[in-house]
Structures are given as structure tokens and as C-alpha cells.
């Protein structure tokens, strides 16, 4: 798949087949997160890859709209140090991970972390040092669903020269 096709066909996937994702592929997906744009190149991120079924379940159950991640073979608990642009940096890296997963034929979904009441509990569960924020949880697995989401057409959102 070329880059434009990856960008245009990525959709959230919340159901996964049972088979595990090879470690090399997980590393490559995380590597794409590591290389995201980041204000003044501060790179405030840390990626905790969770595969232990018990840990998958206990983290998933603290969330509100992310309980399905317990059934992914793996998810990334994505943390950023509390720097000025941590949320912008963290969002850029999260999107890179979603796109890299898509490029590898995997499904994933951005599950909210920042601002959520469960964020600090998840930080504790994964042993994050003080001063780190949960930006997102990113399940990764071979897709067991394919959803076509309605999207606003380009003609609705593209403005030339003025709104
Ligand atoms: C900041 C953010 C937080 C999100 N949180 C959740 C979440 O907690 N649970 C979930 O199932 N999806 C979550 N999503 C995924 C969105 O629901 C999804 O991107 C949106 O419905 C558009 O669908 P698409 O990703 O298939 O294009 C989140 C997305 C973003 C950007």
C-alpha cells in the first residue's frame, strides 16, 4: 500500500482476530511513532507495549469507551512527559502508530487517555514515573471487522483563500 492509500483507508478497528502480532512488526509500528513530528524535537514519549493477558484486562477495564482493548493481542500505553506541547506531540505520534499499523495490514483504534479520569490509574498500573501523562491507548491486531465510516466530503471542508 502506498502512503496516500494508507492515509485514506485507515479506519478505527475494534475487533481483532486471535493471532498474535509478530514482535518485529510491533517494533516497526512503535518506531513510526518514535519518528513523529515533535515541538523543538523534545520527543517526550515513552511506549509501553502490553501483551500479558492479565494486564490487558486490568488496564482495559479501567476505561469507559475502551473496554474492547482487552481482546486485542497487544496494546500500546502511550505516555508523554508533561511538557508544553505534550498533547500535540503525543497526538502526532499516536496518528503515526495508527497509520503504520494500517500499512502492516493491522487494525487499531485511538482510545482516549488524556483528560480521562482513569489516566492516572493506568499510569500507576504500568509503573510510569511521576510527571508522565497518558495520551492514548492503542490496541493493535489483525482486523476482524471492516467498517466504512461516513466522512465529510472534501468539497465541504476545503476552502481556497477564504473560509
Ligand atoms: C482523541 C481521540 C479519542 C478517541 N477515543 C476513543 C475511545 O475512547 N474509544 C473508541 O472506541 N474510539 C475512540 N476514538 C476513535 C474515534 O471514535 C474514531 O476515530 C472516529 O469515530 C472516526 O472513525 P475512524 O477512526 O474510523 O475514521 C478516539 C479518537 C480520537 C482522535
Express each pLDDT in 79-93 by its tens digit. Answer: 999 999 999 999 999
Q: How far, in Å, from the CA of 161 to the mean position of ligand 1?
A: 30
* Residue nearest (by alpha carbon) to ligand 1 atom 7: 111
Is a pLDDT exceeding 90 seen at residue 54? yes
The per-residue pLDDT for range 21-47, each reduced to its tens digit, is: 999 999 999 999 999 999 999 999 999
Q: Which atom of ligand 1 is nearest to the CA of 151?
A: 27
Neighbours of 121 (CB within 10 A): 14
Query: Confidence band (pLDDT; 50, 70, 90) for 113?
Result: very high
Residue 63 has pLDDT above 90, yes or no: yes
Whether residue 18 has pLDDT greater than 90: no
Atom of ligand 1 nearest to the CA of 14: 11
Q: Which helix (H) or strand (E) holds 138?
A: strand 132-141
Contact call for residues 20 and 52 (beta carbons, < 8 A): no
pTM recorded for the entire structure: 0.97
Amino acid at each position: 500500500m502506498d502512503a496516500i492509500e494508507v492515509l485514506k483507508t485507515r479506519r478505527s478497528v475494534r475487533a481483532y482476530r486471535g493471532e498474535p502480532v509478530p514482535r518485529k512488526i510491533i517494533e516497526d509500528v512503535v518506531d513510526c511513532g518514535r519518528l513523529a513530528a515533535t515541538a523543538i524535537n523534545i520527543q517526550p514519549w515513552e511506549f509501553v507495549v502490553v501483551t500479558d493477558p492479565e494486564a490487558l484486562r486490568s488496564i482495559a477495564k479501567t476505561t469507559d469507551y475502551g473496554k474492547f482493548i482487552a481482546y486485542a493481542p497487544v496494546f500500546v500505553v502511550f505516555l508523554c512527559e508533561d511538557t508544553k506541547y505534550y498533547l500535540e506531540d503525543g497526538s502526532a505520534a499516536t496518528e503515526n502508530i495508527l497509520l503504520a499499523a494500517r500499512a502492516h495490514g493491522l487494525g487499531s483504534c485511538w482510545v482516549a487517555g488524556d483528560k480521562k479520569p482513569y489516566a492516572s490509574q493506568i499510569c500507576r498500573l504500568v509503573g510510569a514515573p511521576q510527571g508522565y501523562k497518558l495520551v492514548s491507548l492503542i490496541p493493535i491486531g489483525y482486523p476482524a471487522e471492516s467498517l466504512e465510516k461516513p466522512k465529510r466530503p472534501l468539497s465541504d471542508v476545503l476552502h481556497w483563500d477564504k473560509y
